[in-house]
Amino acid sequence: TTGRPLTGRRVLILGGTHPAAAAARTRVVELGGSAAINLSRTVTDAVLLPGGEADRRLRRMPELGLPVHDEHWLSAPGAGPGAAPGAASPAIAPSSPEREADRPPSPLVLPRGGVVDLPAPQRDPAPLWHITAAWEPQEAADIDVVAFVLDEDEQVAFDEDFVFYGAPENPAGTVRLLTDGPAEQAIAVDLASLPPASRRVAVAAAMDGEATFGDIGAVQVTAGPGTGAAPLARATLDAATTERTLLLAEFYRRGPVWRFRAVGQGYDEGLANLARGYGVDIAD
């Protein structure tokens, strides 16, 4: 597509300083692509920035048949492969029938603040909707994903509507911390079973310790209908600096329709302050 040559492609940035990597991911989105955070089967290309040679994932590119481009490729991605020095040539081109047949449909790429309506359920029972957060694996920092079930005043009805690692499910079982891994965690929401007074489910991430999201880099957020289903939408949240808590995304009601919003709002304070702001009684 003219002006958006990376439409349908998913690009992993390797190396670079945080600002340089963030700028590269922004450029990928401007060109119509989606920025990847971790290496998965949906990745179609990699871009090598200075320092990326030390990334262990680079060694897997030849066996996966993924082209590795230098940083200049993002200036003219339609001009050719632009292989980075020392990178092996791909065994299978990213547009080959083998890779295309194996690749799930591309989700909608949302900017920070972007919104999309969720489709009406086509079957009964309606699927659980997941908000999944992923980041590059960390050795010196722990990240916890949490959720708040909120009313029209953006307050919890009960403290138990704060879902986190110590209480991974609310009393009604409509919101659950589904996974708990070092680089990916998800919140599962039974939107069809939420009471009318529940207007919003906010999902956040918090650092444990003194690290900040500026140390972590980009956090990728996806929304999809259940385990194994292709995601509806994806956003890369890449602007954090000193923040220790990050409001990632939310499901919210607009009339009869549920919507998904990529938020990306950061706070320097810890998780306790965010929870108190939503009405959770947190002991000092």
* Tens digits of pLDDT across the chain (284 residues): 556 888 888 899 999 887 888 888 888 888 888 888 888 878 899 999 999 998 888 988 888 889 999 988 998 776 555 555 444 433 333 444 554 455 556 789 999 999 999 998 877 778 899 999 998 887 777 889 999 999 999 999 999 999 999 999 999 999 999 875 678 899 999 999 999 999 999 999 998 878 889 888 889 999 999 777 789 999 999 877 889 999 999 999 999 999 999 999 999 999 999 999 999 998 76
Q: How far is CA 283 from the centre of its chain?
A: 31
Using CA atoms, how far apart are residues 224 and 163, in angstroms rounded to an integer?
A: 19
* Domains of the chain, start order: 10-102 (3.40.50.10190), 108-277 (2.60.60.30)
Buried b or exposed e, range 207-243, using 16+ CB within 10 angstroms = beeeebbeebbbbbbbbbbeeeeebbbbbbbbbbeeb
Contacts of 210 (CB under 8 A, 6+ apart): none
Using CA atoms, how far apart are residues 138 and 148, in angstroms rounded to an integer?
A: 25
Count of residues in the chain = 284
Instruction: State whether residue 73 is helix, strand or coil.
Output: helix
Handedness of CA 41, 180, 138, 260 (dihedral sign): positive
pTM: 0.76
